[in-house]
Structure 1
């Protein structure tokens, strides 16, 4: 599918490239407000760009190219100079960025946990009846859910947040799993039945944080976005992304990671690789100085590979979901 990328630049000092979904626009409007507050005379505009992931809603992400389908067209606009920065849910941003682009900053993290949204009377995963139908498009969530509750029936779920919530209300699913951060940002916090503990569902790499992508060597934009930079979140996500990068994984593989930095600057990283049906999970953790977050991520990736994750990944490559 070839989507048309805008070629005309808007009249503004800084232009944000954004998807058109309610959540993407909320995130971009928040970034716009931060930039305008920092320099009130700065004119900031949002350019909406339709991505391949937005255009194809009837197929699992693993079938249409993984998370990069939500960023490709926006990155083309960045490289062309039509926009100056792109706002992504960091969990949607691949660890390998196109030549000429870089991660300008990472914002303070919202709640990192996954959220259960369920029909009336269900308050937790354990309340779900046998063979309950759960909607999720995430192989990471699917694998961990089936490891805990192999009786559950998993059904693919795409569409924007409002559409997904409506499908629960209509009774098409007994429950769905979404990121708590997105629900909170859109004002749907009251729909959350349970914020699932991270020792039950380890989150996606970068979940809850926003990643601001810019052109390399664009020092003016780099300086401008620092008003939103959050160093502790950056370190945590740097470790998580290094873990994912070390495994060579993406949307087609059930990989999860979560790092936390304590007040003394120690970083604890937990990482997981799973079989999609949940019958095998390899999980480990590593602690170290947060200043060496990337090294911690790389080392944990090597550890789980040595424990059999290499076999799981080879198996998944041979028989993709």
Structure 2
């Protein structure tokens, strides 16, 4: 542990949304930085975004999850904030010029959590049961798995969503496992959806730190928080989504795993990143689940970290190309047209 910051910096301002989960994320990064640089003064700049204000409309209708980061990015441009902490799955694939993701943190559980007061698994739900989610990705995969279920839009922070479940508006709701775990609501998780049933969102379970590209001091300060192996996986996933020209709120799923040759050192979530074989799975589906395209590819990584990141990026493009060659573009175009 360093007892002195390597920089002349004495104060750091972190932009964050005000939801309990967003504040947990910002406080987690603050505490990690303070452990490294105890002499720093770190402030949280709490911001209400447009996405937090509009709660009665599906995200796809109002511009997607980029609405949760725009105001934070404005704080970076105005230099009110030095960094912004995000759940990576909320970060648009294209960042404004002058900003970058300086850090990809070690990934937590990437899965989707099944939450219900009556049923333990998605398989136990009776025919016609009402399931709440704000995600078209979850909707299309759940409908592909259980066409009989009714999907009802669910917006709001975690507490709001759980409150609607408890009020009887839904038989079950689907939330990110990592989000519930981070704010100590593990007890509400009845089960985790199998990754083969519901492939995760791009970047789900990972935190990222956004900063200005020209701020070398901040990048140096943040460097110890970066997880090289998570970064490789997440670059592949985001490259797939970017090549599909997908936003955050579209029925696109991607999940990358680093494996060794024997596959003996990887858990079910691919979190024991011990090898140099990168496996990327991607999916695109219709909102009603009637079509669900699935493609994957494995490559062997080699060279330096930057070489491996370039190979991961190309892998994302390759799997996206497979999806596009088999009809993903038509599916996505129809969804974008319906949202206009």
TM-score by length of 2: 0.89
Identify which of 107, 110, 113 aligns with 1:109: 107
Shift of 1:165: 1.1
**Cα distance change of structure 1 residues 252 and 165 upon mapping to structure 2, 3 Å threshold:** closer
Gaps of 5+ in 2: 1-8, 260-273, 302-307
Partner of 2:326, secondary structure, is: helix
Question: Is 1:302 aligned with 2:300?
Answer: no
Structure 2 CA distance for aligned equivalents of residues 309 and 56 of structure 1: 29
Identify which of 264, 267, 272 aligns with 2:278: 267
Structure 2 CA distance for aligned equivalents of residues 101 and 289 of structure 1: 31
Identify which of 181, 184, 187 aligns with 1:184: 181
Structure 2 CA distance for aligned equivalents of residues 161 and 316 of structure 1: 26
Partner of 1:73: 71
Identify which of 251, 272, 279 aligns with 2:290: 279
Partner of 1:83: 81
Structure 2 CA distance for aligned equivalents of residues 123 and 199 of structure 1: 18
Shift of 1:309: 1.0
Structure 2 CA distance for aligned equivalents of residues 213 and 219 of structure 1: 13
- The Cα offsets for residues 272-307 of structure 1, whole Å up to 9 and x where unpaired, read as 010111000111001113411101001111111011
Question: Over aligned residue pairs, what C-alpha RMSD do you find?
Answer: 1.3
Choose 222-231 or 63-72, whichever is displaced more: 222-231
Partner of 1:4: none
**Cα distance change of structure 1 residues 12 and 129 upon mapping to structure 2, 3 Å threshold:** farther
Partner of 2:327, secondary structure, is: helix
Identify which of 253, 256, 274 aligns with 2:253: 256
Asked if the contact 2:91–2:248 (Cα under 8 Å) also holds between the matched residues in 1, the reply is no
Structure 2 CA distance for aligned equivalents of residues 231 and 248 of structure 1: 25
Asked if the contact 1:252–1:320 (Cα under 8 Å) also holds between the matched residues in 2, the reply is no
Question: Matches of residues 228-247 of structure 1 in structure 2 within 5 Å?
Answer: 228-247=225-244
Asked if the contact 1:135–1:175 (Cα under 8 Å) also holds between the matched residues in 2, the reply is yes
- The Cα offsets for residues 243-283 of structure 1, whole Å up to 9 and x where unpaired, read as 00000011442000000112221110000010111000111
Partner of 1:36: 34
Structure 2 CA distance for aligned equivalents of residues 169 and 253 of structure 1: 27
Structure 2 CA distance for aligned equivalents of residues 25 and 288 of structure 1: 37
Structure 2 CA distance for aligned equivalents of residues 98 and 40 of structure 1: 32
Shift of 1:119: 1.9
TM-score by length of 1: 0.94
Partner of 1:219: 216
Partner of 1:16: 14
Shift of 1:12: 6.1
**Cα distance change of structure 1 residues 50 and 12 upon mapping to structure 2, 3 Å threshold:** farther
Gaps of 5+ in 1: 1-10
Shift of 1:166: 1.7
Partner of 1:104, secondary structure, is: strand
Structure 2 CA distance for aligned equivalents of residues 12 and 135 of structure 1: 45
Partner of 2:110, secondary structure, is: coil
Asked if the contact 2:135–2:250 (Cα under 8 Å) also holds between the matched residues in 1, the reply is no
Partner of 1:287, secondary structure, is: strand
Shift of 1:39: 0.8
Asked if the contact 1:12–1:45 (Cα under 8 Å) also holds between the matched residues in 2, the reply is no
